[in-house]
Amino acid sequence: MKKKFFNAKFYRHDDATEMVVENGKITHIGTGLPKCEEEIDLGGKLVLPPYVDPHLHLDYVYTGRNDGGKIKSGTLFEGIARWHDIKKSQTREDARERALAAIREEVSQGVQFIRTHIDVTDPKLLGLEVMLELREELKDTVTIQIVSFPQEGMYAYKGGYELVEEGLKMGADCVGGIPHFEWAREIGEKSVHSIVELALRHDKMFDVHCDETDDPMARFVELLNALVMIEGIGPKTTASHTCSFGSADDAYAFRMMSLFKASGMNFIACPTENAYLQGRQDTYPKRRGLTRVKEFLEGGINVSFAQDSINDPWYPLGNGNLMNILDNGIHLSQVASFEELETAFNLITYNSAKTMMLDKEYGLEAGKPANFIVLNESSVFEAIRKRVDVLASVRNGNFLFRRQEPAYDIPLKF
C-alpha cells in the first residue's frame, strides 16, 4: 500500500512538502505527488531522519540511581573504580530491564540508531549477552551496534585482550579500547595496535575511547589515526571523546588536522558528559572538556555528538534527549552562527550515521527505508532555538509513536 505524508518540510530538501512511502521504503520526496490510498497530514512540521546516538553505555544506565553520595570527585577514573564494584552484583534481569528502559527513553525522543559500548572486562560477559539479545529483539524498532569494550583496560585488566576478542566472536560489531586508562604510555600504544589488529582480523569497525583526559600529553589519537591511514580503514574507525585534543598545542593540532582529514577517521564528542567530567583538576580558567568540534566541521572532518551516559557512575543525569545534547554541544563548541545552525542537525543525524556506516539505510532519500522523525516546528532555526520535542517517529513507514502538540488549558492573554 502507498502512503503519502504531506504538508511537511523536509531537512535538506528545501522545496519538498510530501513524501510517498511504499512497502516501508521512500519512493519520492517532492511536491504535487500523486494521490495515495492513505494520506497523513504532518501539520507543516519539519521532518528529519531519525536521531542517531553513536556513543551510549547501555550496560551502565541507572546504576547511579541508588548509589547516593558515593561519587565524590566526578572524574572518569572514579567512575571506573565505582563501576568495578557495582558490576559484581549485576544480574541478567536487572541488566536487561535497565537497558530496555534506557532504549525506551531514547526511542521515545526520536532515536532509532544507537551504538553502545558494552564492558567486556567481566569473565561472565553478562552485559554483552544481554545486549546481543536485545539487539536482535528490537531490530525492527531500533538499530543497535555493539562495541566490545574493555572498560578496565585491554591490558590493565588481566585477560582484557582475550575478552575483547571473545566479544567479537560472540557477535559484537566493533572493537573498543581505552588506551589512556592503560598503566603506561607504551601499554596504551600497544592497545591501539591490538585494536587495529583485531579489527582487521575480524573485519569489524572500531570505536576507541581515546584520550578522555585533559592531559595534552595523551596523544593516542595520533597513533590510531596513523595506523588506520596505513591500512586505509579510516572510515571504519571512530575516535570517541578525544578531550585532550581540546587542550593540545595549536601547532600540534594544525599538523594533526590535515592527517585526520587524510585518513577519513570519524570523531564523536559527548558534550554534556565531558563538560561534567573534564576540567576537574583545573582551578581557573577551567577547560570545557570538548574536542575541537568547530575546527573539525570547518576542516571537513566527520564529527558527531552523543549522550554517552544515562545516570551512571560517570554522569548523574542524561535522558536520551538528543536535542539537549545538540544544544549543549553547539554552545560548548561555539557552533551557532546562522550558517552553522542551518546544518547543525547533521551533528545528531547524518554525521553520526556516517560514523556508524549506515549509508545504505539512512537518510531522507528515495530507495531508503522510510525512517524519519517529525519535530514540533517547521524550520531548522526555530526547532533548534526552541529545543523542540519530537512529535512522531516513523520506522519502515509506520508510526513508532505519535503525540499531540502540548495544548493550553488556559491560554496566555497577550
Ligand X SMILES: Nc1ccnc(=O)[nH]1
List of residues contacting ligand X (CB under 6 A): 57, 76, 79, 151, 178, 209, 212, 273, 308-309, 314
Nearer to ligand X, 315 or 372 (CB): 315
Query: CB of residue 106 vs ligand X: minimum separation in angstroms?
Result: 16
Burial 350-367 (b: 16+ CB within 10 A, else e): bbbbbbbbbeeebbbeee
| Residue, CB closest to ligand X | 314
Nearer to ligand X, 165 or 308 (CB): 308
Query: CB of residue 81 vs ligand X: minimum separation in angstroms?
Result: 11
Nearer to ligand X, 40 or 243 (CB): 243
Catalytic position from the list 212, 222, 273, 377: 212
Alpha helices in 264-332 (DSSP H): 271-277, 293-298, 322-332
Nearer to ligand X, 308 or 327 (CB): 308
C-alpha cell at 81: 573504580
CA distance 223 to 238: 13
Nearer to ligand X, 272 or 351 (CB): 272
Strand partners of residue 5: 19, 40
| Sign of the torsion formed by the C-alpha atoms of 88, 94, 98 and 99 | positive
Concatenating the DSSP letter of every residue in 203-263 gives T-EEEEEE--SS-TT--HHHHHHHHHHHHT-GGGEEEEE-GGGGSS-HHHHHHHHHHHHHH
Query: CB of residue 74 vs ligand X: minimum separation in angstroms?
Result: 11
CA distance 115 to 58: 9
Nearer to ligand X, 151 or 321 (CB): 151
212 given a catalytic annotation: yes
Query: CB of residue 225 vs ligand X: minimum separation in angstroms?
Result: 20
CA distance 209 to 116: 12
User: Which amino acid appears at position 80 of this protein?
Assistant: I
Q: Report which secondary-structure segment, H or E, holds 81.
A: helix 76-86
Burial 215-249 (b: 16+ CB within 10 A, else e): eeebbbbbbbbebbbeeebbbbbbbbbbbbbbbbe
- C-beta of residue 26 within 8 angstroms of C-beta of residue 42: no
CA distance 156 to 184: 9
Query: CB of residue 178 vs ligand X: minimum separation in angstroms?
Result: 6
User: At 98, is the secondary structure helix, strand, or coil?
Assistant: helix
Query: CB of residue 412 vs ligand X: minimum separation in angstroms?
Result: 41
Active site amino acids: 212
